[in-house]
Amino acid sequence: MGVIQNVLAVIVVLGLLITFHEFGHFWVARRCGVKVLRFSVGFGKPLWSRFDRHGTEFAVAAIPLGGYVKMLDEREAPVAPEEQHLAFNRKNVWARIAIVVAGPLANFLLAVVAYWLLFVVGTTSVAPVIGEVAPDSPAARAGLSSGQEITAIQGDRTRTWEDVNLELISRIGLDGTLEVAAREGEASEARTYRVQVSDWLARQDPPQPLETLGVIPWRPDIPPVLGQVLEGEAAAQAGLEPGDRIVAVDGQSLDTWTAFVEVVRERPGERLSLRIERDGEVRELDLTPGRREAQGDPIGYIGAGVETVSWPEEYRREIRYGALASVGRSLARTADMTVLTLDSIRKMFVGLISPSNLSGPITIARIAGDTARSGLESFIGFMAYLSISLGVLNLLPIPVLDGGHLLYYLIEAARGRPVSEAAQAVGFRIGLALVGTLMLMALYFDLMRL
């Protein structure tokens, strides 16, 4: 069931993002007087298609990993004399630039709308309150302590742990002082703590900002009660069900979910004797955790999740703005995430971020499924970030991408004449090889994560 949900979630996400991207090209092409022959969501053989009154074919194809807008173009096929004024290649360079840029801009617009919706409806998140500070860690040496709430990183406000993580990750490669503002309680004034760092998070795979800082988030005591059990995994095979409370493992009593997780992770492939409580009755079960790799070390897993617990009100942060204020907030969030994406690409090229952080369709499907199960709020947030990533990647100056075409047209605008077809053909081959290599690398790292 989990795999099916992941597949359905990624089809919905990619289908929506691709449709918006291609609609951007389509809408501007129509307004620039270019005839659109086909608007396809997906590649390969069409599963469904229809024609509109302008002669454009709208199609949904079998492979949902992309899409395209095919326009009338004399470089691809002969064009009747009476339709030559409708050909893409006959339009002036600024019209062609507008058509090319419209796809990525549509993705940024979709992200703005998604963030606006989240800000208007409101989201509830967990306050970034420190639970523990690891001894002799950067946070401990700076003077941070348990119970403090982190209010800012390098002067940028942080209201949730998501904000804290994004601010810390955006500083990858920092040498020097990381300024962390924290307060003892809501009524107290924040104090700035100066954390000394060197090559902050550089080349970590994956980056673990909180662990590196030495901060463990505060969490309520979570009882060892199962909230979900995945079909076909070790927990289901052992007969565990949602609602079961783990009382003891191998005769050792357990009080928290964390203690149970630690036992499972430390004993992959070993039989565990469980005592559980179900519907007021105590039962005995045998459970053998599966095995997977995490940073080169084997860990156990059982394919089960914990039952959700309520957080105390003082640790919850509700983020909501009015419809007008949300416009500015959504534009700012989209801009921040765009800058973070571009900076991450730059740092990957200079070696500060490991290429193994590249993600392909498998990881996207897994995250899409996880966020869909977490709720509409998480799903929309993930979709917004993925839309920004798609927009940024398409604007990179790589031939075969929108950014490559944009580069050619900007050169044409500056020189007053087009880039030669021979040069474009060479660039196309280089771009195709580069994009193909990146896709293979992303798929390889996806498989390694499995």
**Active-site residue numbers?**
22
Query: In whole angstroms, what is the distance from residue 401 CA to residue 39 CA?
Result: 17
Cα→Cα distances 164→11, 205, 217, 253, Å = 31, 19, 11, 35
* Tally of helices (H runs) and strands (E runs) in the chain: 12, 18
The residue type at 335: A
H helices of 53-126, where?
Answer: 93-121
Query: In whole angstroms, what is the distance from residue 450 CA to residue 443 CA?
Result: 11
With beta carbons less than 8 A apart as the criterion, state whether 147 and 315 touch.
Answer: no
Query: In whole angstroms, what is the distance from residue 145 CA to residue 148 CA?
Result: 6
Q: In this structure, what token pair is assigned to residue 147?
A: 């119970």
Cα→Cα distances 330→35, 39, 162, Å = 34, 29, 16
- 340-371 burial, b for 16+ CB within 10 Å, e for fewer? bbebbeebeeeebbbeeebbbbbbbbbbbbbb
With beta carbons less than 8 A apart as the criterion, state whether 193 and 137 touch.
Answer: no
State CA 319 to chain mean position distance: 21
Q: Report helix, strand or coil for 316.
A: strand
With beta carbons less than 8 A apart as the criterion, state whether 402 and 104 touch.
Answer: yes
- Nearest CA to 212 out of 140, 311, 301 is that of 140
Query: In whole angstroms, what is the distance from residue 23 CA to residue 27 CA?
Result: 6
With beta carbons less than 8 A apart as the criterion, state whether 21 and 394 touch.
Answer: yes
Q: How far apart are the first and last CA of the chain?
A: 17
Q: Which residue has the tokens 């069900």?
A: 241
